């Protein structure tokens, strides 16, 4: 299966501003890319790329005052398989976790693990450790929290989600991540493209958030928002929570004025595409 990825994000900048973006496909998926994956800026800027401490590919640049357009399109090969499920995956005792996994048990900006230790134990302490416990957490969050774009806000933490019971996809994952960590299960936030493959489309596309849980000896994909195995996730970045993997971070004012993302199956063979066609998938 071939998936066409593209975005067109535009800002009005009152002043020159330094920005960092996490808009590239994750290095773990680089082998699947069939076209280059670069941020194109308009005006054309000197963009430098680097890998952050979480292993994500970042781009940074300094943009002048005025309209800034960030655009890209690329093509990626995907297995077309849904998220793997392994009902028998066991929790790893904390003492046996690899060193680099330990920090995914701690507090982070949006995940107040320390405030949830009793709550998490009361809600999920009775469940069978491992995959089943994580699934119970996802089921709980999925059934208790209502999706509502209008109720998003940048300061909403897991505790806010727990009391307000409404939010956007990142809020679902923050609450689930916090429950996991409070139960000594390493969990991290993930962001990327998620097409509507095999599900009814509802409205404009957006990037999506999900989360990953460390069971047995690897990370597994979970998604408390959708709560069933999806096809065609394309990972962009992972971190402790949304604070680590903001798609764009502006060190100064930047007013978002246009936002377009698309993820769809490409039915033509990639060889036959021309640059012109590729461009045409980005709206003016």
Contacts with a copy of itself, residue ranges (CB under 8 A): 18, 20, 50, 52-53, 58, 60-62, 93-95, 99-100, 102-103, 105-109, 112, 114-116, 118-119, 144, 150-151, 153-155, 159, 162-165, 184, 243-244, 249, 251-252
Nearer residue to a copy of itself within complex by CB, 85 or 256: 256
- Let me know: does 242 contact 209? Beta carbons within 8 Å: yes
Question: How many C-beta atoms surround the C-beta of residue 191 within 10 A?
Answer: 27
Least distance in angstroms from the C-beta of 230 to a copy of itself: 27
Least distance in angstroms from the C-beta of 71 to a copy of itself: 21
Q: What b/e readout covers 224-249, taking b as 16+ CB neighbours within 10 angstroms? A: bbbbeebbbbbbbbbbbbbebbebbe
Nearer residue to a copy of itself within complex by CB, 189 or 193: 189
Nearer residue to a copy of itself within complex by CB, 115 or 273: 115
DSSP state of 85: -
Least distance in angstroms from the C-beta of 153 to a copy of itself: 7
Least distance in angstroms from the C-beta of 146 to a copy of itself: 11
Nearer residue to a copy of itself within complex by CB, 136 or 159: 159
CA gap 19, 38 in Å, rounded? 15
By residue count, the chain amounts to 284
Nearer residue to a copy of itself within complex by CB, 44 or 100: 100
DSSP string, 172-237: HHHHHHHHHHHTT--EEEEEEEE--TTS---SS---EEEEEEEETTEEEEE-TTT-S--B-EEEEE
Least distance in angstroms from the C-beta of 197 to a copy of itself: 31
CA gap 258, 274 in Å, rounded? 26
């Amino acid at each position: 299966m071939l998936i066409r990825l593209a975005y067109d994000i535009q800002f009005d900048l009152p002043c020159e501003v330094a920005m960092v973006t996490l808009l590239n496909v994750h290095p773990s998926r680089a082998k699947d890319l069939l076209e280059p994956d670069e941020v194109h800026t308009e005006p054309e800027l000197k963009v430098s790329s680097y890998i952050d401490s979480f292993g994500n590919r970042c781009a940074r640049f300094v943009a002048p005052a005025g309209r800034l357009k960030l655009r890209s399109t690329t093509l990626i090969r995907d297995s077309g398989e849904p998220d793997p499920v392994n009902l028998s995956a066991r929790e790893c005792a904390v003492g046996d976790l690899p060193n680099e996994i330990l920090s995914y048990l701690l507090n982070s900006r949006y995940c107040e693990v320390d405030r949830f230790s009793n709550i998490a134990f009361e809600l999920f302490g009775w469940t069978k450790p491992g995959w089943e416990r994580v699934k119970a957490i996802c089921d709980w969050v999925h059934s208790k929290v209502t999706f509502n774009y209008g109720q998003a806000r940048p300061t909403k933490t897991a505790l806010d989600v727990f009391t307000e019971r409404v939010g956007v996809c990142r809020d679902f994952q923050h609450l689930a991540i916090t429950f996991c960590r409070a139960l000594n299960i390493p969990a991290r936030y993930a962001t990327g493209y998620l097409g509507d493959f095999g599900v009814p489309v509802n409205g404009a596309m957006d990037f999506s958030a999900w989360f990953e849980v460390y069971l047995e000896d690897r990370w597994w994909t979970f998604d408390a928002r959708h709560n069933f195995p999806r096809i065609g996730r394309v990972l962009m970045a992972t971190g402790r929570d949304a604070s680590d993997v903001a798609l764009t971070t502006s060190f100064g004012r930047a007013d978002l004025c246009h936002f377009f993302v698309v993820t769809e199956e490409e039915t033509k063979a990639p060889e036959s595409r021309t640059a012109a066609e590729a461009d045409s998938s980005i709206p003016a």
